[in-house]
Chains A and B, each alone.
Chain A
């Protein structure tokens, strides 16, 4: 029964239209709100959450904008009051910096590795071609030597031939 009452209470909360109790425009609020994720576990970006939790948080942002706070100050305030998980992306400071750098560092290193691998394979291919060319040259030289020997023999025999 308690659970049912709780559910009905939530529904009542939800069916009340969004009352603009602050002067900040929807666009101004959305511009700041998109930096946050809703903290009720729905995992939606704050501008996209239409549950009571989303309305409450947008209300907090609206009031701060009314008070003349800029975006950075509101982000700091939210960070301090709702902990780090409310930010939609990790900050670019301290340990969180690894979140931003690691993908590019790993891909950069892999890219350099692939470059060296390709170069080594190209060299291996060239080496094989050179070896084959050397073999063919040696074979040709050998054939040439043999044919020279035969030519000499033929010449000698022709010379000795009694015309």
Chain B
């Protein structure tokens, strides 16, 4: 079966090639049977790839150590689950998993579109199969092509690059000639598509050849490559494997990589539909409505993968954190951010027929960022905790990015005339405008992560020095962006579509804002050592928010409000600090603010005035943050998260009340029954169920709030204590007392375990203690002569006690097995569990939003026709 699996993989290559080009040929020649045949080829491809993937799993289960991949990632004692999940432990298997998923996705896509999108589907098939072909190429013939061409590499490479460039230029020339009608002959018009197809074929072939010729060394990416093929000098076949990297031997291995891959691969589908829409000039909303659930699906799995990764890092890396801004973590976060922006901005296209070009750009960049993620993981160009994924394939993925991005953007540029939107807005203060700002912030966040990730490479290229861009950078730069995003998330549902009026803004803002103010004040009092400072800071924050709101409501009131705010701030700082500088700075900023406010008030369109205002608010925020106030960003974050939460609760409350009244009218019942909980719950359930998309979205926002409350609180108030203890000695942290009970060293298959057991007591005061249980913290060594120090680093098993309030996190950081002395690092991490609960709520919301909705389908069909 294993040998057949290898054969199947090679067989998939011509089948995929056929499935890519037959549908397009069918369109050109007007022959439907060609398209049908391409469809069957995709079904066959999915079956072949399933067989090949199962064959690799069987190879792991039957300990086929004659295969390099199995030898490198498994051994006899490896538990069943890790043998199965080892399929994606390394590069070759990950790539196979990638193509397998894409093959299966395409079967679903073909089934979903069996009676619709007949114009788009041939091109969707073409694009997805080209992507699949690329991945198949990297794990099948790429190394062989390289090896064969090694002797004549230089000449082959020159020829290949020349023909690649030539075919590329011909393609661009043909497209330009067509777009600008430079060649107007009937013959050209008639055969244009033939020329393009032939050009694309030549381009694709030479692209892959160029990639193969430029590879530094043959890539060991073939999943079924034998030891003999990889190491021709090897005389024997190993009877035991090297085993899975110990860091990967965690239950997270079963969830984190596949969910991430499912996300990455999933973005191929909306990307393929977008390009198909560009190719066919069918640039309405159909491609978006057809792929909305696929986008949500990919976004969901990418998000779930990220949360699983964070949970894994928390439990396995033993440093008490869950996110370290590692380049590979960043790589998954970037497409998630642009995907989030896309999910929001498509709503504007659906409702207002706007942002067509922007949506195209977003999905192109989301897909390219998915490729970039694979490039970062596989290239090893940046140090990462995921270095076990590095290989020589990075160049191939870089090449793919250089191919996909310019070609997609070029295609988009040639279609700009057909993408003209009805770009009209009724007001600057409208839901539509707030969505644009939301997109700016999400894409800005993605850019910031991208910038931080590539900055070391950029600086190295320019100056020869490679700096590190680690957590302190991201924690500084991303926090203001996140806060702005929280603010816009809070106010967005409160602003009406088209135009927000004075009346509805006041009505919508009053309750959630007041609630957030009360909670914010309570938090300020709770957080701050100096109450005066905290109240002052909070007052400043609210004053700024009030300024924005006043501007929104009536710009003429900005002047007096600004004057009051500045006067108040100046007096406060003068009294509180007694320092002249603290009086001058806000006074100066206030003067600029008042000036800009006047400019804005006089002329609403004054960009200069607005610019001044933004600059001043930023300046004031920087100034406030420089004051020695305890955790100003934490305070701002919790205030804004409360504001979002209050907004969402209000939305649910209002919706439930209306539905309750509606239900009552329908039932004919009279009278107000405020404590009729079953009916209220029924109304609440109906509210969500009758408009899954909208309320599913609000559930996701609730999850985001819970998650970021957990992140904010745990990263601010985490407490760490270290101690070196002898058996029987105790240490205290917060109200926990830990008694070091015993040390235990023993051997298990392929690992040496050094375990410490601590009794954990809770101090109830007045010398009262209650025992919570035992915390077992371990250091495990996995001696492996095949691996170096970094790969052989010990793994940590933390002792963990958790509740909704906090986690007690015990790490064994060192020990002496003779004296049984042990060093412990103990942390109390508050509210970490809310991060995982928030993740679960987000999953729930996404499921609600994705759930089949007959009413929504009808609405869409009525609006966009049967193709929706």
Enumerate chain A interface residues (CB-CB to B < 8 A). Answer: 3-4, 6-8, 10-11, 14-18, 20, 26-27, 30, 34-35, 37, 40-45, 47-51, 55, 83-91, 95-96, 99-100, 102-104, 106-108, 110-112, 114-125, 128
Contacts and interface: CB of A to CB of B under 8 A. Distances in A.
B444 interface: yes
A90 B816 contact: no
Contacts of A44: 317, 319, 324, 385
A131 B321 CA distance: 60
A44 B452 CA distance: 16
Interface string B334-374: 00000000000000000000000000000000000000000
Nearest to B384: A43
Given A18-B814, A18-B823, A95 B463 contact: yes
B814 A103 contact: no
A145 B19 CA distance: 68
B440 A107 contact: yes
B387 interface: yes
A118 B789 contact: no
A45 B476 CA distance: 16
B605 A119 contact: yes
A15 B754 contact: yes
B466 A85 contact: yes
Given A86-B468, A110-B444, A51 B793 contact: yes
Contacts of B781: 11, 14
Contact of A125 (B424, B452, B779): B424
Contacts of B387: 41, 43
B173 interface: no
A140 B790 CA distance: 83
B607 A10 contact: no
12 contacts: A10-B792, A11-B781, A11-B783, A16-B816, A30-B720, A43-B384, A84-B466, A96-B459, A106-B447, A110-B440, A114-B436, A123-B605
Contact of A4 (B318, B452, B785): B785
A98 B482 CA distance: 20
Interface of B: 317-321, 324, 326, 383-385, 387, 423-428, 433, 436-437, 440-441, 443-444, 447-448, 451-452, 455, 459, 462-463, 465-473, 476-477, 481, 605, 607, 610-611, 614, 720, 722, 724, 754, 779, 781, 783-790, 792-794, 796, 811, 813-817, 821-823
Contacts of A99: 451-452, 455, 459, 467, 469, 473
B424 A121 contact: yes
Contacts of B428: 118-119, 122
B611 to A, nearest CB: 6
Nearest to B615: A108
A8 B724 contact: no
A117 to B, nearest CB: 8
A139 B468 CA distance: 69
A90 B447 contact: no
A75 B794 CA distance: 29
Interface of A is mostly: helix
The 7 A-B residue pairs with the shortest CB-CB distance, nearest first, are A48-B319, A17-B814, A125-B424, A103-B448, A88-B470, A89-B472, A89-B473
A50 B318 contact: yes
A95 B459 contact: yes
A89 B815 contact: no
Given A112-B607, A112-B611, A45 B462 contact: no
Nearest to B321: A48
A40 B532 CA distance: 46
A44 B436 CA distance: 37
B610 A115 contact: yes
Given A15-B754, A95-B459, A95-B462, A114 B440 contact: yes
Contacts of B607: 112, 115-116, 119
A61 to B, nearest CB: 14
Given A4-B785, A90-B469, A128-B424, A100 B724 contact: no
Contacts of B383: 41-43
Contacts of B794: 11, 14, 50-51
A124 B610 CA distance: 20
Given A118-B433, A118-B436, A88 B468 contact: yes
B451 A43 contact: no
A125 B426 CA distance: 6
B451 to A, nearest CB: 6
Contacts of A117: 436
B424 A124 contact: yes
Given A15-B816, A18-B813, A121-B424, A88 B465 contact: no
Contact of B455 (A83, A90, A123): A90
B633 to A, nearest CB: 16
A53 B858 CA distance: 63
Contact of B425 (A27, A86, A122): A122
B324 A125 contact: no
A53 B814 CA distance: 14
B817 A15 contact: yes
